Structure formats: C-alpha cells, structure tokens
Amino acid sequence: MKTCASDALRRRTRSAHRLPARHLCCWLLLALISAGCSTLPLVYERGSTLALWWLDDYLDLDDAQRASARAALDDWFRWHRATELGIYADALAALRRDAGHDLDAARICAAHDEIRARFRAGLAHALPAFATLARSLDARQRAHLAARYAESNAEWRREKRLDDTPAAQRAHLTDEATDRARSLYGRLSRTDRAAIARRIGRSPYDANVRFAERAARQHDTLEALARIAALPATGHAAAAQHILVNLAAGYLDSPRAGYRRYHADLVAYNCALIADVHNDMDATQRAKAVRRLGDWEDDFRRLAAHAAP
C-alpha cells in the first residue's frame, strides 16, 4: 500500500503541473477517482504543497508571493476540510446507496451538478486570495504564465492526439473511459470493453473544440491579469476581485455560446453513457463499485474529522 500510494502521489504531482487553473480544486478533491488505490488522504494532506508547486510552476513566484500564497492555501484547506468534505462524503454515501441498482442519466447528472456546486463554493472562497496574488504579479510573471500555457498546450495536444486521425483520438478517449470504468468496477469483460468503445464512438466530444476553448480561457486569464496590473493604486483590491469574479464565471459557464451548447450536449451524453455502462455491469462489478464508493466516503469523513478547531 505504501508503494502504491507514493507512486500515485508522484503521478498526481506530475498531472497537477499540466492542469488549467479551473481544474485545480477539482483535481485536489477528486484525485482518488482515477487512482488504482486509495490515495485521497495522502494527496489531500499535501494539498497546499501541491497547489503551491503548481502556482509556482506557472507564475514563478518570488519569496514574498510564495509565503503569502502558502498562507492563503493553508487557510483555504482548513476551511474546505471543515465545511466541504462532509458534503462530499454525504454525496458519495447517496451515490453508494444507489450504485447497487440501475441508474439513469438524471441521477448521474444530479451528481455532476452537485460537484459543480461545490466547485463554485470553493472557487468563491478562494477569490479574495487569488485577487491579492494577481495584484502582485509583474509583467515578467505574466509572460512566464503565457509561456507555460504554450508548453502545456503542446503537451495537451500530444496527450489528446490532436494531430492524429479522428480514429486515433477516439481510441485514446476509449482507453481513458475504460480505465475509469475499471478503477470503479474492477475487471471488465471483452463485452464490457466493446460496449464502452461503441458508446464513445457516438460521443459528441471533439478534442479540437475543447482545445479552442482551452486556449480562449487562457487568453481571457492573461487579459484579466493585464487589466488588474493596469488598475489605479486606489480602490484596486475591490476592482481586481471584480475582474476575477467575472473571469471565474466565464470558466464555469463559457461566455462563448457555441461552446456552451457543445458542453451541454456533451454533459447530457456523458450522463447517459455513465448510466448505461453502470447498468451493463453485473452484480459482482456493482458490489465492487459500492465498496469503492464506501472507501472513498470513509476517506472524506476521516479527513473531515481531523479538521482544525
């Protein structure tokens, strides 16, 4: 178990350096879902450190910024542990109770909406500290962020096979979906894997559309930081936070109508896909999923129980 946990932590650390900012909180909260062993306590306990590494990698913080960011992240994790983890545990408990039976798309989408609601709450709580950090960034650091975006985009293109054929992209997407299903249900039969591949083949997912939105959000971020840097000396704290509130709203619900429609279609399809995959599983596979969900629920509750007073 110790080796499994340490290997998973190294994978999560490498992944954290590739994530766009809007996914950081979700990664910290849901890293366990794709792990082959229960690593949530290990990852969560190091959440401040991992998040600081990510920020430093993308922003090249100076000593004062690093110290301020560390304090803000420690505060955020104390708040999150005390107020949010119990909500996640309750959501997992509800899903665990349902997982022994057939599920429909509405149930999966309800879980998706609950995760988004918790992400919104976590992001809202973090915005004042992000505004403080954003006001301290200079032109060199904004240029460093732009360069890191370019590097991460090149890596994203390789990982998602953007320069390959559509068939290669679908094969990669199928492999990802199969791995996620295996992490929850255990061993998959050839029939299970074939069914997942067929459903992925009908998915509206388009890596090029996703990449275009990713690049647009990065541009929005750089533009917002430049606007914050240009604020007058007086009243800049409230103005900076207002800019970031609008930026965060655009990350949660794209300002681009075409992408909003695409995303809504994709979420609806994925909810149905997850329900269909679950309903294809036999009693043994569902029982394994129930146990996995229970283990993750217990992890959340243990972490919440150790919240600072």
Cβ contact 118:87 at 8 Å: yes
Which secondary structure element, helix H or strand E, spans residue 130, and what is its range? helix 105-136
| Cβ-based neighbours of 109, under 8 Å, separated by 6 or more | 267, 268, 271
Residue pair 65/136 in contact by the 8 Å Cβ criterion: yes
135 pLDDT more than 50? yes
Tell the burial category of 2 from Cβ atoms under 10 Å away from its Cβ (0-12, 13-18, 19+).
Answer: exposed
CA dihedral 31, 175, 91, 116 (to 10 degrees): 80
What percent of the chain shows pLDDT beyond 70?
Answer: 87
DSSP 228: H
Mean pLDDT of 28-51: 63
Residue 120 to residues 23, 50, 213, 231, 304, Cα–Cα distance (Å): 11, 21, 19, 26, 19
Q: State the Cα–Cα distance between residues 56 and 97, nearest whole angstrom.
A: 41
CA 122 – CA 76 distance, rounded (Å): 8
**Which band of pLDDT confidence, cut at 50, 70 and 90, is reported for residue 234?**
confident
- Residue 73 to residue 52: CA distance in whole angstroms: 8
Largest CA distance in the chain: 65
- What pTM did the predictor assign? 0.85
Q: Helix (H, G, I), strand (E, B), or coil: what is residue 209? A: helix
Handedness of CA 294, 295, 299, 302 (dihedral sign): positive
- The predicted structure's pLDDT at residue 231: 93
Q: pLDDT tens digits for 153-186?
A: 999 999 999 999 999 999 999 999 999 999 899 9
Q: Could you tell me the residue ranges of all domains in the chain? A: 2-305
Question: How high does pLDDT run on average in the chain?
Answer: 86
